[in-house]
């Protein structure tokens, strides 16, 4: 079995490769045009020596023959003049910054996070619009390209600033990103905005025109008024952007915690020491929690009841949190204990952290007679209705309805991250192959031979192995990224800080003793 050190090394290598964008040939052409790489642009707008929380860096990993690393877009949260901002930046070295299905999802997920946390959106635009061969997966549906524009308009109307800097040829959908922004800066010589580029204009109305005349920075700042500012080069444009952000008025700042951050004690090792690589073996979940929280202080709630779910209070980087962590399958007792704990945290305005390592809720006659269906529903109900921010980390397995009770993606955690050893699926490959082959044996269709059953067993195992892999999941944006276990505390600290100080819903929050 691979160990966690190898998995972390593999993750670093995947991140390094994705950071190279569209490859050497396109990077060389990009620089020859006097353009900066997207990561350098981001470095230049953020406050020096501050953190950047990059989201889903491995989107589209392994898809499209590996030609669209990061889905051709970079998103993440950083500080500009002390204000947390969401940066959404196209990588023009990857298929001209055009949008694939995963690009759309990454773009709209970043907007969703910005909207929830009221973060100004900074669009660094260099975008050829929809990637045309994939247009049916990018253009027509509610959550496709149009949904991103809808959200942009909604955010602007609710006072969340939308600012664009245009670095390259922005066509069709790529043109609407700046056109729908509150303020726009264009770079002279390379920045272009047009609903249809020269080839489309020729095809549509038989007009022959060059790109600069059609949609260049001078035309748009002096004639059409689509752009508000022109910059002689990228460096100046990025400085101008910082100035615009400095003058945004009263946008949200980070609310510091009430108490100082204290490092966890060395006694409990690091989170990586406890990562469950072999999901069949139990781990010391309490030690894992203590290796991540302030001063390793963990005040457990109901430690002697429903023991397969550990619940308790702690602090992360000074912010109070309520933690729920699996220590075995969820039984009726652990489910109602979890529901009770969630209601307590909700009443006290304490954010929730879910550490998932879960095979599912208990099955079998005894569990059913004990009402596991209704008791597990109480946990799912409490998770669904908790009004405090929720954060989920897949530290191990995330199987079946256990994913729901422990705040999987469907339950709208503010952020969801996976560890490189995590697995996510309806069930494990072993269980899936048993279920599928049993169904086939009992099928009304022609009876299967033992050879056919063996082939089906192998196919099902291979399918579940492949699809439960964290790289498969992150490529499809089922999470916000794969984290190194030892980064988890700092990343959670940043995420919690973004929501700290939000207006509280002071409506009634009853706690039903389950």
Interacting residue ranges for ligand COA, rule: CB under 6 A: 92, 95-96, 98, 128-132, 169, 171-173, 197, 200
Question: Rounded to the nearest whole angstrom, what is the least distance from the CB of residue 125 to ligand COA in the complex?
Answer: 11
Residue 392: strand, helix, or coil: strand
The CA-CA-CA angle for residues 58, 64, 69, to 5°, reads: 30
Could you give the CA distance from residue 80 to residue 261 in angstroms, rounded to a whole number?
23
Could you give the CA distance from residue 413 to residue 305 in angstroms, rounded to a whole number?
26
Asked whether 288 and 395 are in contact (CB, 8 A), the reply is yes
Question: Rounded to the nearest whole angstrom, what is the least distance from the CB of residue 140 to ligand COA in the complex?
Answer: 12
- Closer residue to ligand COA, CB minimum distance, 27 or 412: 27
- Closer residue to ligand COA, CB minimum distance, 54 or 134: 134
Q: Alpha carbon 142 to chain centroid distance? A: 19
Question: Rounded to the nearest whole angstrom, what is the least distance from the CB of residue 231 to ligand COA in the complex?
Answer: 19
- Closer residue to ligand COA, CB minimum distance, 92 or 231: 92
Question: Rounded to the nearest whole angstrom, what is the least distance from the CB of residue 172 to ligand COA in the complex?
Answer: 4
- Closer residue to ligand COA, CB minimum distance, 20 or 251: 20
- Closer residue to ligand COA, CB minimum distance, 169 or 405: 169
The closest of 315, 325, 320, 316 to 284, measured between CA atoms, is 325
Asked whether 321 and 386 are in contact (CB, 8 A), the reply is no
- Closer residue to ligand COA, CB minimum distance, 126 or 480: 126
DSSP string, 86-113: EEEEE-TTTGGG-B-HHHHHHHHHHHHH
Q: Phi, psi at residue 352, to the nearest 5°? A: -110, 140
All residues at 6 or more sequence positions from 455 whose CB lies less than 8 Å from its CB, including other chains:
none
Torsion of CA 28, 34, 35, 41, to 10 degrees: 120
Question: Rounded to the nearest whole angstrom, what is the least distance from the CB of residue 55 to ligand COA in the complex?
Answer: 23
Residue with tokens 């305005």: 349
Could you give the CA distance from residue 483 to residue 481 in angstroms, rounded to a whole number?
6
Question: Rounded to the nearest whole angstrom, what is the least distance from the CB of residue 182 to ligand COA in the complex?
Answer: 24
Question: Rounded to the nearest whole angstrom, what is the least distance from the CB of residue 133 to ligand COA in the complex?
Answer: 6
Asked whether 475 and 63 are in contact (CB, 8 A), the reply is yes
- Closer residue to ligand COA, CB minimum distance, 144 or 317: 144
- Closer residue to ligand COA, CB minimum distance, 114 or 130: 130
Could you give the CA distance from residue 339 to residue 330 in angstroms, rounded to a whole number?
12
Question: Rounded to the nearest whole angstrom, what is the least distance from the CB of residue 392 to ligand COA in the complex?
Answer: 35
Q: Alpha carbon 40 to chain centroid distance? A: 22
DSSP string, 20-69: TTT-HHHHHHHHHTTPPPHHHHHHHHSPTT---EEE-TTTTTT-GGGTSG
Question: Rounded to the nearest whole angstrom, what is the least distance from the CB of residue 130 to ligand COA in the complex?
Answer: 4
- Closer residue to ligand COA, CB minimum distance, 173 or 397: 173
């Amino acid at each position: 079995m691979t160990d966690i050190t190898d998995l972390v090394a593999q993750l670093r290598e995947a991140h390094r490769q994705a950071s190279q964008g569209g490859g050497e040939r396109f990077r060389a052409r990009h620089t020859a045009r006097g353009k900066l790489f997207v990561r350098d642009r981001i470095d230049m707008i953020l406050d020096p020596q501050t953190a950047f929380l990059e989201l889903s860096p491995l989107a589209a990993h392994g898809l499209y023959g590996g030609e669209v690393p990061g889905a051709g877009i970079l998103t993440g949260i950083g500080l500009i003049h002390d204000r947390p901002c969401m940066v959404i930046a196209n990588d023009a070295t990857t298929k001209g910054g055009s949008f694939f299905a995963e690009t759309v999802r990454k773009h709209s997920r970043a907007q969703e996070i910005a909207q929830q946390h009221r973060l100004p959106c900074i669009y660094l635009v260099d975008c050829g619009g929809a990637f045309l061969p994939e247009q049916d997966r990018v253009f027509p549906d509610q959550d496709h390209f149009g949904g991103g524009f809808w959200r942009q308009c909604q955010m602007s109307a609710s006072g969340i600033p939308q600012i664009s800097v245009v670095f390259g040829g922005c066509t069709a959908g790529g043109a609407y990103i700046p056109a729908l922004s509150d303020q726009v800066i264009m770079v002279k010589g390379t920045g272009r905005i047009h609903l249809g580029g020269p080839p489309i204009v020729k095809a549509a109305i038989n007009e022959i025109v060059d790109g600069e005349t059609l949609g260049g920075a001078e035309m748009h700042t002096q004639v059409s008024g689509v752009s508000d500012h022109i910059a002689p080069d990228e460096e100046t444009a990025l400085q101008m952007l910082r100035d615009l952000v400095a003058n945004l008025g009263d946008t949200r700042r980070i609310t510091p915690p009430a108490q100082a951050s204290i490092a966890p004690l060395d006694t409990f090792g690091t989170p990586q020491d406890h990562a469950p690589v072999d999901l069949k073996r139990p781990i010391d979940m309490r030690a894992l929690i203590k290796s991540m929280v302030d001063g390793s202080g963990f005040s457990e709630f109901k430690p002697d009841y429903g023991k397969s779910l550990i619940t308790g209070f702690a602090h992360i980087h000074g912010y109070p949190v309520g933690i729920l962590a699996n220590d075995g399958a969820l039984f009726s007792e652990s489910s109602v204990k979890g529901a009770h704990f969630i209601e307590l945290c909700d009443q006290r305005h304490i954010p929730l952290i879910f550490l998932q390592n879960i095979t599912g809720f208990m099955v079998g006659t005894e569990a059913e007679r004990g009402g596991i269906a209704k008791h597990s529903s109480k946990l799912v109900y409490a998770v669904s209705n908790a009004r405090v921010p929720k954060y989920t980390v897949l530290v191990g397995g995330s199987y079946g309805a256990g994913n729901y009770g422990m705040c999987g993606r469907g339950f709208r955690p503010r952020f969801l991250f996976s560890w490189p050893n995590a697995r996510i699926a309806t069930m494990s490959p072993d269980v899936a192959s048993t279920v599928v082959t049993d169904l086939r044996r009992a099928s009304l269709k022609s009876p299967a031979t033992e050879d056919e059953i063996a082939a089906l067993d192998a196919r099902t195992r291979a399918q579940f192995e492949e699809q439960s892999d964290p790289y498969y999941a992150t490529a499809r944006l089922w999470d916000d990224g794969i984290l190194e276990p030892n980064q988890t505390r700092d990343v959670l600290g940043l995420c919690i800080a973004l929501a700290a100080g939000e207006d509280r819903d002071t409506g009634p929050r009853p706690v039903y003793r389950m």
